[in-house]
Amino acid sequence: MDEGQIKELISQLTVRVKATGKTEDGSNVTEKGTGVLLLQNNRAYVLTVYHCIYGGKQPHIVAKDGIKISFLSEICSEPITPIDITSLKQNLVLMEIDINKLDKTDMKCHYLDRVYDGKEYYLRGFPNSEVENFKARCADINFNDITFKISVDELTSDTSGEKAVTFVAGLSGSGVFFSENNQLYLVGLANELRDKYGRFNKVKCIKLIDLYSSDIEFSEFYTINDIVQRLKEIDKKISEDACRKFEVDNTDEYNNIHRKHTNIYHKREILTKNFEGIKNYLQGQNSINEMKVMDSNFERYLIEFIYDTLSIITPSISETISSKKEGRDNLKLVRVETINAIKDELKLIKRENYISSKLREYIVIGWLLNCNIDFILDEDD
């Protein structure tokens, strides 16, 4: 997905929101902003920030028929009103709309509950003569909060910041997107200038955490817990057929691990150990494939880490193995050295027991597959 395709998809998912309501004294008041079209399970929603509907410090009353949502003409030619409104903790507002009124519903987007440093982000207010596409970078180091800050490139050349306030007013509710592996991801919505009197290109945004906590089911919504759960589900799907395919496609490697297991374990344990070993080896590779969707640097870093760990472990543990007992002891040592390496080098991953255990087994099986020595049987065996 090139930059032109990214911007085109974002423009199709971007809507204008206009909400007219009443204050406590009965006066009419109108709020304007941007929203994002969400398409899920044959239903359509528009997500925006709270103040674009209800205002700022003193929220006013807004009925459904007081809201008008406008789209690009190719999506929907006339403004429509929502059929349901859900306020999410005065951070976000989710509005369901009639999907049958949309002329196009094949736009694909995924939703994440966190922000990633090092990505190039895109924002877009509803297309008009003033608010267009902007690129941004994450300017936050606290990834655990409901809000995050971004630095928007070329927001305005007006160093006083007055025009920035106007621009961000148009960007309020705009989606914060990034693209990776030909997929578009939404991580939050622009909410306000971080400091209207200071750094005019800093924008404060709201994450989608409250959206995920709502009763709405989003099949394209991913969290760190989701990733761990998906890894567990993948583990269940790795069947004996997959292990047998590995045996056929990688005869030398399979014979290598089979030979070592034969010399270490009792016969009744050999097939189980072979199966579990290959499964863990395959699981390690699948773990890489799943995690790199979230972080493009993960695969490179993990491969380097595994290579470096093996290069340290192999010479010190594999030079001489004179007995089955020593072979078993060395296997234990490999596991200890591996988990120590994970604790030392992968501070993030060690907190996830499931992932760290898979990395450990991946390295252990890699060592068994690759070390070029035989385990010598004890005479009494």
Sequential DSSP letters for 125-192: PSSSSS--EEEEEE--S-TTSSEEEEEETTS-S-TTSHHHHHHHHHHTT-EEEEEETTEEEEEEEEEE
pLDDT value, residue 103: 94
Domains (ranges, CATH) in the chain? 3-222 (2.40.10.120), 224-370 (no CATH)
Q: How many helices (H) and strands (E) does the chain have?
A: 11, 14
On the question of pLDDT at 194 being above 70, the answer is no
Per-residue confidence band for 262, with pLDDT thresholds at 50, 70 and 90:
confident
Per-residue confidence band for 139, with pLDDT thresholds at 50, 70 and 90:
low
CA 120 to chain centre: 14
Mean pLDDT for all residues in the chain: 76
What's the pLDDT tens digit per position in 343-369?
776 555 545 555 566 667 777 777 777
Higher pLDDT, 17 or 314: 17
Task: Give mean pLDDT, residues 254-259.
Answer: 80
What's the pLDDT tens digit per position in 308-331?
777 777 777 766 667 777 777 888
What's the pLDDT tens digit per position in 76-101?
999 999 999 998 888 899 999 999 99
The segment with the largest mean pLDDT, out of 57-61, 120-124, 249-253, 376-380, is 120-124
> Is 41 in a helix, a strand, or coil?
coil
What's the pLDDT tens digit per position in 168-189?
556 789 999 988 777 888 999 9
